[in-house]
Amino acid sequence: MKLRTKIHLYSSVLFALLFIMTNLLVYVVFSTMTLQQQQSRVESQTNKTADNMRQSSADTSAADLLRAYVPVEGMIRIVRETGSNTLLVTSADQQQLAERPVSYLEERSAEIITYNQQRYVFVSVPVIWNDGQVVDIQVTESLRQTEQYLNALRIVLLIVTGLAMIPVFLSGHVLGRIIIRPIAAITATMRDIRRSGQFQRLTVPSPSSDELYEMSATFNSMIDLLESNYDKQKQFVSNASHELRTPLTIIESYASLLKRRGMNRPELFQESVEAIHSEAVRMKEMTEQLLLLARHEEQWNLTVETVDLLDQAEQLSREFDTAYHRRIEIRVAPELQRQPALLSVQTDAGKLRQMIFILLDNARKYSSEDITMELALDHAQRSEQAAGKRQTAAAEPNRCIKIIDRGIGIPAEELDKVFDRFYRVDEARVRQDTGGSGLGLTLARRIAEALDASIRLESTAGEGTSAILSLPSAPANLPAFSANSN
């Protein structure tokens, strides 16, 4: 059964039941009250009649008395204990009542009876008659008029129920349509997307706070996200293939050169092998970086341990000096000199080194003077925390590792873009001079996120760049931390 039919059916049936129950209750309460009222009326009337008859029985004949008190639609009779000498008077249209069997009742009684498929109020009051005997004065009064009223009420209630069902039926139909329309629109759009392969949006009417509007808006934002991810992916694949094609072309051209003239010109051999080797190394590095970027953080197998930042800095400085003959000056802020314990943090040592390495390597590539590595507390991060902008689990301030170079710098308008994949400032010169891939900072930022850290750049073109790494004393988002720190 379709959802629309279900909504329609359930709402109509529910409302119909509700109406029927309400009207039934109204009818039952009203009819009971009316019949009780009629019964008490006849009862008090009969009491009054009995009193009057007792007082006037001496000088008026019993038949006259009965005629005076006979109800408009009914019968009055005097019943003796023996059941004989019964006197009765009926109204003109209730003569059949005279045939109703006589019964003498010792007690006062009042009830509703059915005789010849008609309902009557029957009241019997015992009185002492003028001859000293106890007799019953019995009044039987027809409820025909009351029943006519109740019938009319029944019909009115039935008509009201029927009429009320029309808007209920229509509203169920409308409700079904209102709810189904956006769902049907989403389904149709999804089908269109599948058929055409194009991302499409729903036309969302005026903004409102209802769930259906929210559902359509959420669908559209989900499609936005999917489209932007898809575009990024496409961009990434085309960039990656473009980036890999360049070294491959270089390798191929040097290889063909070697094939053609390598034997005859040994000087070409040296140059070609070097070019092939350096391009192969670059390709390998790029592929590794790409693989790491493509992997989910959970697959990185991060292990959190206690790491001494000064130790790491000194080790990296030595390595850089050996490999590139570049001096890295290490400075430790006075507050950390006073409290060396603050130089220890809980983090993944390997990933931290990889991140610092990328920043140092950039400083090396884009400057020629000495590089400075400064260890301090990150007060900027602490003031952000105080202003409530950022929530970190650690109460301690973040540690700050600042890598300062006095090189070519980055123009202000490029500062945000350098974190994008494959983005390089002044592409041609940089690639030729340094062999960079444009993936280093992207990877560094990904690692930083995984370690609950952050990286920002401050730079002045032509003067130099500072890469600031803000590291928490312990990462809040790594499950490995809780396991290892116990």
DSSP code for 101: P
Please tell me whether residue 425 binds ligand ADP under the rule CB under 6 A.
yes
Please tell me whether residue 247 binds ligand ADP under the rule CB under 6 A.
no
The count of chain residues that interact with ligand ADP, using the rule CB under 6 A, is 22
Please report how close the Cβ of residue 457 comes to ligand ADP at its closest, in angstroms.
7
- Compare residues 142 and 465 and give the one whose CB is closer to ligand ADP: 465
The whole-angstrom separation of Cα 202 and Cα 215 is 10
Please report how close the Cβ of residue 174 comes to ligand ADP at its closest, in angstroms.
58
Q: Which residue is nearest to ligand ADP (CB)?
A: 436
Please tell me whether residue 430 binds ligand ADP under the rule CB under 6 A.
yes
- The answer to whether residues 77 and 138 touch, using CB atoms and an 8 Å cutoff, is yes
- The answer to whether residues 12 and 170 touch, using CB atoms and an 8 Å cutoff, is no
The site string for ligand ADP over 324-363 (x = CB under 6 A, - otherwise) reads: --------------------------------------xx
Nearest alpha carbon to residue 139 among 65, 194, 59:
65
Q: Which of 46, 138, 317, 465 binds ligand ADP (CB under 6 A)?
A: 465
The whole-angstrom separation of Cα 237 and Cα 114 is 94
Alpha helices in 295-426 (DSSP H): 309-324, 334-338, 349-365, 379-386
Record the tokens describing residue 123, joined without a space. 């009241």
Q: Could you tell me which residues come within 8 angstroms of residue 363 by beta carbon, excluding any fewer than 6 positions away? A: 371, 403, 404, 405, 407, 465, 467
Q: Which of 176, 182, 247, 436 binds ligand ADP (CB under 6 A)?
A: 436
Please tell me whether residue 373 binds ligand ADP under the rule CB under 6 A.
no
The whole-angstrom separation of Cα 398 and Cα 390 is 12
Please tell me whether residue 216 binds ligand ADP under the rule CB under 6 A.
no
Q: Which of 100, 326, 351, 424 binds ligand ADP (CB under 6 A)?
A: 424
The whole-angstrom separation of Cα 169 and Cα 458 is 68
Please report how close the Cβ of residue 426 comes to ligand ADP at its closest, in angstroms.
6
- Compare residues 384 and 414 and give the one whose CB is closer to ligand ADP: 414
Applying the rule CB under 6 A, the residues between 70 and 99 that interact with ligand ADP are none
- The answer to whether residues 215 and 186 touch, using CB atoms and an 8 Å cutoff, is yes
The whole-angstrom separation of Cα 317 and Cα 330 is 8
Judged by CB under 6 A, which stretch of 17-25, 112-120, 305-313, 416-424 contacts ligand ADP? 416-424
Judged by CB under 6 A, which stretch of 13-21, 117-125, 324-332, 422-430 contacts ligand ADP? 422-430
The site string for ligand ADP over 394-413 (x = CB under 6 A, - otherwise) reads: -----------x-xxxx---
Please report how close the Cβ of residue 477 comes to ligand ADP at its closest, in angstroms.
24
Mode of pairing for the β-strands spanning 454-460 and 328-332: unpaired
The whole-angstrom separation of Cα 266 and Cα 256 is 14
Nearest alpha carbon to residue 469 among 454, 479, 450, 481:
454
Please tell me whether residue 478 binds ligand ADP under the rule CB under 6 A.
no
- Which positions touch ligand ADP (CB under 6 A)? 362-363, 365-366, 405, 407-410, 418, 423-425, 430, 436-442, 465
